[in-house]
Amino acid sequence: MKRNLFKAYDIRSKRDNFDDETTLALCHAIAYYMIHDVKTYSIVVGRDTRVGTEAIMQKALEVFQASGMTVYVQLNAIGSCQFYYNCMQRPKSGGLMITASHNPGSYLGMKLVAPEVQSIAKNCGPKGGLQTVQKYYDEELLCNTRKGGTIVPLNTLDAFIDYSMKLARVPAKSLKGLPVVCDFLHGSNGEAISRALNHCGVDGTYLHLVPDGAFPCGDPNPGSEGSTAEVRQYLLDHPTDMCFVYDGDGDRMDLLYRGRQLSPCFVMGLITDELTEMFHGYFEKPEESFNPMFLFDIKASPALLLSQIHQGKKVSLVQNGHSYIKDALLNNKGNHFLAAVEESAHYYLQFPQSIGDWMSPLFASENTLFFTLLVLKAYQKDPRRFDEARILQDSTWRQREWSAMIKEEGKRNTLQKAIEDRIMAMGAIKVTTNKLGENLNATLLRYNLPKSYDDGATLRTPWFQVFQRVSQSEDALVRWEVLASDEKIGQKVLEEMAKAMKMIE
């Protein structure tokens, strides 16, 4: 039995750890959890293009069917967003997506969802979520054999594309002639995105479109400079305003606007008006009185947040982690929580099962095809707003997120405390909760910034913000990011952080 497979949000490890014995034990643990704790006898199964996903899928089908479950399965490789769509259309079923997302090609993994597309993670999901699955795995429980199990092959690509185009209100040929570059990094969502964009009439250039689980470009991570070197060079040689880069399973969407990243939070800021107008009916509110809540990554630029507030939007910070964010949306439909974004290029929304049916159930989920289309429609309508967003983004200084592996817990704690002490000595205030009183599961060290992002808040210079947290998905990894009003004060912050880091070397 292999250990250290269970992370905060999923099951993930090096491919070598998914041997036949381990895979069989995992599938039994999942089947037992779905039947006995989730109380469902049906499950949706999908996989991405990674080497080894086929063997895991085959074993899962055998175990689930033998356990008496109805298994809805897309046999070919698909993106996670199409998998979530398949779950939305079968809301009484659980779900298993075999993927390791943006991790190196040497990794394999599993994402789980409960009925209603509810995330399953540690301490998230029915009866303890992933911790309960891990308990069954450790105990080597075997699910009883039952009659009645069946396998139902699916082919939902056309339906997924049609749903996404209709929801985004982007009809066929409506983006005719618009130049668009996409880099799929050999991941599994290229077919869905490229087919949809062709339907919409774009003048598309599709790099690394063919799925390849070896990921020859490097880690399938749109945030990796090495993996995106080719597309950046292509944009230098063939300047194009709109370029999207996706990760291995297609649930991350990074926008390179005129060759440089436009931060995901700024991208969300460009479409909040459209989302508000589109979704008022699903919340049974007149358009003129519907003012939903948008959740932004705790690393979001204060300049962006204040610009949204000054436009009349309601915003709040949210802690990182797809399961937590989806749960926050799920549990706050009555409070009109509509959408969320992470700086890792994950976008979330209350997706309706049926478009145009105001009584349709809503599911907190992800769909990068929908967001790609919506962003392109916004650009086609008014490209100047993208220039304005870039100017606002460039008006501040940013040291993008970096990390360090510190295996000793005591050493990690000492370093974080030393950084806090030095930055607070500069006048910063420590923030660990949002304005709703919810734990951010991270520390923000903020100087000369408003206490909360509400009406009347203003941005005074100079200011800075330091983000610090221990990763929930990578063992012993500490992450940092710095935002500042200008490079001078930003470099001063980095100098103080470097002094703290030298203390523990």
Beta strands in 99-168 (DSSP E): 107-114, 118-120, 150-153
Q: Which residues pair with 504 in a beta bridge?
A: none
Question: Is the same domain home to 115 and 186?
Answer: no
Instruction: Give domain status of residue 422, yes or no.
Output: yes
Judge residue 106's burial from the number of C-beta atoms within 10 Å of its C-beta, 0-12 exposed, 13-18 middle, 19 or more buried: middle
What dihedral angle (degrees, nearest 10) is formed by the CA atoms of 321, 323, 326, 330? -140
| Residue 369 amino acid letter | L
Hey, what are 230's tokens? Answer: 């080719």
Question: Is the same domain home to 243 and 389?
Answer: yes
Question: Is the same domain home to 373 and 283?
Answer: yes
Classify 384 as helix, strand or coil. Answer: helix
Question: Is the same domain home to 113 and 167?
Answer: no
Query: The CATH number of the domain where 76 resides is what?
Result: 3.40.120.10
Classify 203 as helix, strand or coil. Answer: strand
- Answer whether 115's CB lies under 8 Å from 126's CB: no
Question: In Å, how far are 145, 312, 331, 437 from 451, measured between CA atoms?
Answer: 57, 18, 25, 13
Question: Is the same domain home to 405 and 287?
Answer: no
Question: Is the same domain home to 267 and 358?
Answer: yes
The predicted structure's pLDDT at residue 2: 67
Hey, what are 103's tokens? Answer: 């991790």
Question: Is the same domain home to 314 and 186?
Answer: yes
Residues 6+ apart with CB under 8 A from 301: 263, 265, 266, 392, 393, 396, 398, 483
Hey, what are 259's tokens? Answer: 């060759």
The Cα 308–Cα 305 span in angstroms is 5
- Answer whether 469's CB lies under 8 Å from 444's CB: no
- Answer whether 235's CB lies under 8 Å from 243's CB: yes
The Cα 350–Cα 326 span in angstroms is 9
Question: Is the same domain home to 235 and 319?
Answer: yes
- How many domains, the chain? 3
| Residue 21 amino acid letter | E
Question: Is the same domain home to 122 and 164?
Answer: no
The predicted structure's pLDDT at residue 473: 62
Hey, what are 275's tokens? Answer: 């989302």
Which of 117, 135, 155 represents a domain boundary (last residue)? Answer: 155
Question: Is the same domain home to 309 and 200?
Answer: yes
Instruction: Give domain status of residue 351, yes or no.
Output: yes
For 151-176, letters b (16+ CB in 10 Å) and e give eeebebbeebbebbbebbebeeebbe
The predicted structure's pLDDT at residue 235: 98
Q: Which residues pair with 262 in a beta bridge?
A: 255
- With CA atoms as reference, report the closest residue to 234 among 260, 254, 259: 259
- With CA atoms as reference, report the closest residue to 245 among 273, 205, 199: 205
Which of 139, 155, 171 represents a domain boundary (last residue)? Answer: 155
Question: Is the same domain home to 55 and 111?
Answer: yes
Which of 89, 124, 155 represents a domain boundary (last residue)? Answer: 155
- Domain containing residue 444: 397-503
Could you state, in chain order, the average pLDDT of each consecutive group of 10 residues for the chain (505 residues)? Answer: 82 93 96 97 97 97 98 97 98 97 93 96 92 95 91 98 98 98 97 98 98 95 93 98 98 97 97 96 90 95 94 92 92 95 96 94 97 98 98 95 87 92 96 83 92 80 93 77 96 95 78
Question: Is the same domain home to 146 and 263?
Answer: no
Instruction: Give domain status of residue 6, yes or no.
Output: no
Residues 6+ apart with CB under 8 A from 334: none
The predicted structure's pLDDT at residue 477: 85
Hey, what are 297's tokens? Answer: 């990554």
The Cα 63–Cα 34 span in angstroms is 12
What dihedral angle (degrees, nearest 10) is formed by the CA atoms of 124, 128, 129, 133? 160
Instruction: Give domain status of residue 51, yes or no.
Output: yes
Instruction: Give domain status of residue 70, yes or no.
Output: yes
Instruction: Give domain status of residue 75, yes or no.
Output: yes
Judge residue 400's burial from the number of C-beta atoms within 10 Å of its C-beta, 0-12 exposed, 13-18 middle, 19 or more buried: middle
Asked if the peptide bond before residue 462 counts as cis, ω within 30 degrees of 0, the response is yes
Query: The CATH number of the domain where 452 resides is what?
Result: 3.30.310.50
The predicted structure's pLDDT at residue 246: 98
The Cα 385–Cα 90 span in angstroms is 38
The Cα 127–Cα 425 span in angstroms is 44
The predicted structure's pLDDT at residue 106: 93
Instruction: Give domain status of residue 193, yes or no.
Output: yes
The predicted structure's pLDDT at residue 458: 85
- Kindly state the DSSP code that residue 37 receives in the 8-state scheme: I
